[in-house]
Amino acid sequence: MDQKVRVRFAPSPTGGLHLGGVRTALYNYLFAKQQGGDFILRIEDTDRNRYVSGAEEYIADCLQWCGIVPDEGPQQGGPYGPYRQSERKSLYEQYARQLIEAGVAYYAFDTPEELDTMRQKWKSDDNPTPQYDRHTRTHMRNSLTLPASEVQALLDQGAPHVVRFLMPEEEVRFTDLIRGEVKFNTALLDDKVLLKADGMPTYHLAVVVDDHLMQITHIFRGEEWLSSTPLHLLLWQRLGWGAELPQWAHLPLIMKPDGKGKLSKRDGERLGFPVFAMNWTDPRTGESTAGFREMGFLPEAFINMLALLGWNDGSEQEVFSLSELVEKFSISRVHKAGAKFNFEKAKWFNHAHIKQSPADHLLPYMRQQLTEHRAEASDERLREIINLIKDRCSLLPELWENSAFIFEPPATYDIESVAKKWDAEKKAFFQALPGQLETVTPFESEPLEEAFKAFAASKGLKPGGLMLPFRVMLVGGKFGPPVFSIATLLGKAETANRIRTALPLFG
């Protein structure tokens, strides 16, 4: 029987969740659900200097909003917990010790000053940033250079030290599910710290130990981690887990709109669009960063947009539900090259999802906006309004913007748009129109339009020349859905009242 697919999304709680991070979570989720597997959230909080209070809860809320809910994690629990690395601290030291005993890791007692001295001593034009590696390790204060008795004495004294991996000189190969065969010459790599002086593991040790203990089968992560994979692969092997290696896939970057570099928070601020899933306020600085949710994106549109930033199913289809994405996703169709972010395209996805959403799905968003604007309406009336205007909305706040005229009479009127063609005959027509509206039964769009055109014909007027003044009287300008639909929603009395209120201003 094949091993059950298990994937993980393992963010660090250091701030807001970038849309690239959400896409990583999404691809993990889609693959797991398609394969009947498990999607795990693991919080990698071993770097306590960068830990930000509230960030973990924010990450969980983002995933919940997106609909990509973990099967296991800090909130859900599960059989492989705990799911915060800071709560797994006691696990890592034994594996660091195992590596030392196997001769593939070592204690290093170098002080910060000694490390600085090494960097200055070995610095050259060919090597501007010297590393702790095969060239320098034999000149440093570590268990490779010190007598065993001195090493033991330092350990007994509790001397500050780290554990470093003894990087071999060999070629490491692995098959990336997106990039194919990847080769690295490890002689060019440094001896990474595995266990820090405070006893906390670095990312490199913790990620390998946790992925093994949590039985992770596939690792989908950003391409910035590609260069770390040789070390991780070597750690899997040196810890005796070579027969259980996961499969790796390194996802392409999400690029700036011009394609020149990775999309950053600053790009969003500069160009006026969000790059975080939800609003985030840094508790340390008070700095706030806008999110897609608060700007007015439906979660299903947001993840649809993200899925297609680096993947397609080979067809012309662009609008997908989450269940369709689960059905059609394939890691083999994820592109190698970075995907340029296009905010206008993102809004196109949102418009497409708003347009196809049933009124009941949009009702809570509409209700929220009415509350914010202190307006009231029944659910039945709101459904009618939503069905009339949703095709015009790219962002959820536009539900209100496109319907505010129903709840609030115009404060101003675009008289100039009709002034040139306004005359006494049209004025007389609109003076008499409220009375004509009384005869329209039922007061609905089609009967209203027929009555309007018939009355215009009886006055020798072309209906087309009357439509714009009618619209301006009802909503204040040249906007909105079909004018007879507007009148239907306003109702007979309000339509007549708005005509009488506006008419004196037309001259």
What residues act catalytically?
265
The position carrying tokens 């015009």 is 392
Q: What angle do CA 243, 180, 323 make, to 5 degrees?
A: 85
Distance, CA of 287 to CA of 89 (rounded, Å): 32
* DSSP labels, 298-335: -HHHHHHHHHTSSB--SSS-----HHHHHHH--GGGB-
Distance, CA of 331 to CA of 217 (rounded, Å): 14
Helix or strand (DSSP H, E) at 222: strand 218-222
According to DSSP, the residues that pair with 281 across neighbouring strands are 288
With contact defined as beta carbons under 8 Å apart, do 482 and 489 qualify? no
Closest by CA to 326, choosing from 63, 4, 27, is 27
The position carrying tokens 């899997």 is 236
Tokens of 416: 């100039």
Mention every residue, 6+ apart, whose C-beta is less than 8 A from residue 489: 381, 384, 385, 388, 406
With contact defined as beta carbons under 8 Å apart, do 176 and 251 qualify? no
- Strands laid side by side in the 38-41 sheet: 38-41, 6-9, 218-222, 247-251, 171-176, 180-185
Q: At residue 184, what are phi and psi to the nearest 5 degrees?
A: -135, 140
In eight-state DSSP terms, residue 261 is S
Cα distances from 20 to residues 64, 261, 266, 332, in angstroms, run 17, 13, 14, 19
First and final C-alpha spacing in the chain: 84
Q: Is the dihedral of CA 397, 393, 356, 69 positive or negative?
A: negative
With contact defined as beta carbons under 8 Å apart, do 378 and 406 qualify? no
Distance, CA of 357 to CA of 468 (rounded, Å): 30
Mention every residue, 6+ apart, whose C-beta is less than 8 A from residue 405: 474, 475, 476, 480, 486
Cα distances from 48 to residues 13, 51, 92, 224, in angstroms, run 10, 5, 16, 21
Helix, strand, or coil (residue 218): strand
Helix, strand, or coil (residue 195): strand
Tell me how far the alpha carbon of residue 365 is from its chain's centroid: 20
